Amino acid sequence: MGDWRTDPTYAMCRALADGADLASFAGGPFDIRAVVAAIDPGTFDGSVLDALPWANFPDGEMAREAVHLLHTGDGCAHNAMRRLFGMCAEGSRAAVALAVPVLIRIATDPCHPHRADALAAPARARYFCAASRDDFLLHRSGPHRDAPDGYDDYGVEVTGYPAGWSVAAARAAIAAGTPLLLPLLDDSDPAMRIGASYALATAADPGHTVGGSFATRFAKERDPMTLAALVLATAETTRAHPHRPATAWIRELGQDPAQAPEVRLAAAIGWLCLTDEPVPDALHTTVGALATEERARAMDALPWMAAAGGNEPGLLRCVHRMLHPEAPEPYSDDPWAPLP
């Protein structure tokens, strides 16, 4: 594998670092948004994968190899998805965004052995260990209005590539693939239903169609963890596209003792992210009683919680950051920090 600095996009990143106008590269061959938008939504085969302009983006060859393994269903396919996920975690997600249309089609193939893995798409940024009311479930659907240079608050990736372009491309691909992904909410495998909720929560939904589908599935769902996933997905899409009925519904779920504990906890966390109201005493009591260590570790099966956790279960990190923001961290991400 070659040095990413030999990729053609590096010249663009270097020019941007030297003060070039980001808008001058918009719509060109190194704009991942334009490249992904032009991908034919038809069936993918090996020749189509090879024809995609992987080399135009940092670490593109690594992404191409991983997607090829996933597409063929090779025995190493699970590790290939972990490789793509690792690229995103390390701040090099442009080439992974190019893979999203392929990953969607892998996920919708009922015969593919690794279809559930394919739904961990790179459509979120700055969300690892993000667990505060301000940051959890937050994403932007467009450039920040206070970014005069064309960047949004995602800034740049480790390679210098505009991170907001990568995230926007991935979300646009998921929005385009929504008709393919929505049926997965009714898949027989709970892991697929959770994964579909996670992916669809990042799709543009100004008409609340996706949010409505989450509510429809919730009414039929019986698996507590999948129900919790649908609540978090509804909260995420509602944060991007405010919808008062959805916010009220989430609050009611958190107050309903007939709901499963996982649902009430997801609803409490989701509601806190949708409002700046003070935390009610009743919510403190509910979360304190339900958020046990054992339940928190089980809820790390939800990708939102797994990403939020860091060195502790994601639910507990959310509880600490949202309900007790003034308290010191019970865990530290600093390996040199003294033990409590």
Q: pLDDT digits over 2-35, tens only?
A: 555 666 778 888 888 888 999 999 999 999 999 9
- The pLDDT mean for the chain works out to 86
Question: Which whole number is the average pLDDT over 80-101?
Answer: 86
Mean pLDDT within 187-207: 93
pLDDT at 299: 98
pTM comes to 0.89
Residue 316 has pLDDT above 80, yes or no: yes
Q: Is the pLDDT of residue 332 over 70?
A: no
Contacts of 243 (CB under 8 A, 6+ apart): 208, 211
SS3 call for 229: helix
Better-scored residue on pLDDT, 205 or 235: 235
Res. 330: pLDDT tops 70: no
pLDDT digits (tens, 9 = 90+) for 245-297: 999 999 999 999 999 999 999 999 999 999 999 999 999 999 999 999 999 99
Collapse the DSSP code of 211 into the 3-class scheme (helix H, G, I; strand E, B; otherwise coil) and give the result. helix
Tell which wins on pLDDT, 27 or 128: 27
Rounded to an integer, the average pLDDT of 96-110 is: 89
Residue holding tokens 């958190």?
A: 254
Residue of higher predicted confidence among 160 and 210: 210
Q: What is the pLDDT of residue 105?
A: 87
Alpha helix positions (H), the chain: 9-17, 32-37, 46-51, 60-72, 77-89, 94-107, 163-176, 178-181, 190-200, 209-220, 224-240, 244-255, 261-274, 281-290, 293-298, 303-309, 314-323
Tens of pLDDT, residues 162-177: 988 998 999 999 999 9
CA max distance for the chain: 59
Average pLDDT over residues 209-231: 97
Question: Could you tell me the two tokens for 183?
Answer: 């049926």
Q: Is the pLDDT of residue 213 over 90?
A: yes
The H-assigned helical ranges of 73-150 are 77-89, 94-107
Q: Between 156 and 296, where is the model more confident? A: 296
pLDDT, one tens digit per residue, over 29-84 is 999 999 999 987 666 666 778 889 998 888 888 899 988 888 877 667 778 888 88
What does the pLDDT average to over 79-102?
86
Residue 150, classed as helix, strand or coil, is coil
